[in-house]
Amino acid sequence: MDSLQPLHNLNVHEDARGKLVSVEGSRDLPFNIERVYYIIPRQGAARGFHAHKSLKQLLICVSGSCHILVDDGVERQDVLLDRPDVGLYNGPMHWLEMREFSPDCVLLVLASAPHEEGDYIRDYNEFIRAVGRAA
């Protein structure tokens, strides 16, 4: 799946005290970090169901696990996030659906810009039209 973004191993510094995982914007990511938030989902809930026109993100499951469906309009890939030292880079114009959250899941998101409602595409058919593909 060349068009979809792969998982990225994060910087892990380990010694007798444990592990420290670091992410530095512009050094480790193809963007500066402008917003940080995390999701603590309710059991059985699904989230996402949108794409961003220009926002870039790195999603890290810092606790527990979840599945993320990534769709570029041609290919769909189900990604399991279950390690706090691995992140999923998500560039613009990828539809995301987040589901199957474990009870202890905390999903951390590093974003390239503050929240801007105008950057969202919340209708899948509109997303398909925007990427120029037939549904």
Instruction: Please identify every residue annotated as catalytic.
Output: 50
Task: Quote the CA–CA distance of 45 and 12 in Å, as a whole number.
Answer: 31
Edge-to-edge order in the sheet of strand 57-63:
7-9, 86-90, 57-63, 106-111, 35-39
- CA dist 49 and 40 (Å) reads 17
In this structure, are residues 86 and 13 in contact, taking their beta carbons and an 8 Å threshold? no
* HEC letters along 96-119: EEEECCCCCCEEEEEECCCCCHHH
Cα–Cα nearest to 71, from 8, 133, 9: 133
